[in-house]
Amino acid sequence: MKLSILRQNNPLALRIVDRYLLRELAVGFLAATAILLLVMVGGAVADLLAKIAKGRIPAELLFTLIGLRTIGTLTILMPLAVLLGVLSAYGRLWRDSEMAVLQSSGLDSTGLLRPLMLFVLPTMLVLAAISFWLAPASERLSQRLLTEASRSLIVAGLEPGRFVELPGRDGVIYVGEMSADGTQFKRMFIESERPDNEAGKTRIDVITATHGFLYHDADGEGRYIALQDGFRVEGKLGEDDFRLMRFVRNDIKLPDSAGDDDEAAQKRAAPTAVLLRGGDDPVMMSELHWRLAAPLSVLVLGLLALPLSRTSPREPRYARMLLALLAWLVYYNGLLLGRAWIGQGKLAAGFGLWWVYVPALAIAAWLIWSGERLKAPRRVRRA
């Protein structure tokens, strides 16, 4: 006879066991999300700090870019967090023998599907909003901020009245005055050093200029400082071999900015409505399927985690976790491969990424069915 935790008068009402399992799933999902966010944000911070040190992005955009990147990584992070959250929540039921108590109350393994779907479906809707709207908008904002910052000397870390390291090379640079937008300056001093392999000594190069400005190449990618009305002294340290030159204008190349202005990147950051009107453009079609992959992956990985969470009390705690991570790695690489094939025109856009979803769903269904199948009782031989 079933216990009261499984009884319900209204089929749409949540049972006590449903509320309990939903709480366990939510706790496991939030814990996995927090850990994965910590790892991914740490990697993003290290990458951005390296670019700031090279003068490719301004330091004041650090926290803004971290927030924008975090929104974009949620499309990859949340499906994996669902997989790990279901494994940790339902796996604990099996290890602590709580599942045996629930089974004795009339709840079988397939009964776990109800709270799982109640958890997965809202998560899919939230992730769909992020994938189709928030993530592309954050990518477009990030590209716009980097493009605007690349047109200013502030992106190289230059501050009026302060000596700073020369971006991208050994040396220092000093600016006396700078315009508010960071495009023009006065009284600049640059000192750089480079090794002379032939003589085994160091060459020094000192440049001064009364004023100048920042400009870009015709393609908009290369950045240069135009120095006007100045002097240049170069030679080897320890030798009387120095040259003094006076110039009207001398241009110095700055490191390229971190902005990604190529056509493919702009297409991938386009609004979803533009992708739907993309027609036969393979890059747009690949991006559209990639955005659809995020919410569908929540369903696929959630169903796959259900049979993988079934463990025995004596089984190692993280054995199924390693198996699940391996399955996710194969699944995710399949999505990346399909995205690249569609973008290169090697795979028809109509075929999409369903060749990845369908086998994964079939494996999940087979594992759930095989876990519920009972062995046929042995026939007792008559004497």
Asked if 130 contacts 123 with a C-beta cutoff of 8 angstroms, the reply is: no
Q: pLDDT value at position 336?
A: 92
Whether residue 300 has pLDDT greater than 90: yes
Give whole-number Cα distances, 88 to 34, 120, 382, in Å.
Answer: 14, 15, 47
Mean pLDDT of the chain: 79
**Entry pTM:** 0.72
Whether residue 307 has pLDDT greater than 90: no
- Least confident range from 203-207, 220-224, 278-282: namely 220-224
Whether residue 275 has pLDDT greater than 80: yes
37 or 107, which is more confident? Answer: 37
| 311 CA to centre of own chain | 32
How confident is the model over 247-272, as a mean pLDDT?
72
Whether residue 153 has pLDDT greater than 60: no
Whether residue 104 has pLDDT greater than 80: no
Q: Is 305 helix (H, G, I), strand (E, B) or coil?
A: helix
How confident is the model over 124-128, as a mean pLDDT?
94
296 or 114, which is more confident? Answer: 296
Q: pLDDT value at position 142?
A: 86
Whether residue 10 has pLDDT greater than 70: no
Distance separating alpha carbons of residues 222 and 159, to the nearest angstrom? 21
CA atoms within 13 A on the CB side of 23: 7
Whether residue 134 has pLDDT greater than 80: yes
Asked if 315 contacts 94 with a C-beta cutoff of 8 angstroms, the reply is: no
Q: pLDDT value at position 375?
A: 41
Residue 113 carries which side chain, given as an amino acid letter?
Answer: L
Which tokens in the block code for residue 361?
Answer: 């769903």
90 or 217, which is more confident? Answer: 90
- Least confident range from 9-13, 64-68, 252-256: namely 9-13
303 or 168, which is more confident? Answer: 303
Whether residue 365 has pLDDT greater than 80: yes
Tens-digit pLDDT profile for residues 369-381: 876 654 444 444 4
Tens-digit pLDDT profile for residues 154-206: 555 566 777 877 655 567 888 888 777 667 888 888 888 877 766 667 788 88
Q: What is the residue-wise DSSP string for 27-54?
A: HHHHHHHHHHHHHHHHHHHHHHHHHHHT
Beta strands (DSSP E) in the chain are 163-165, 171-178, 184-196, 201-216, 223-236, 242-254
Best-predicted range by mean pLDDT (225-229, 278-282, 372-376):
225-229
Q: pLDDT value at position 61?
A: 79
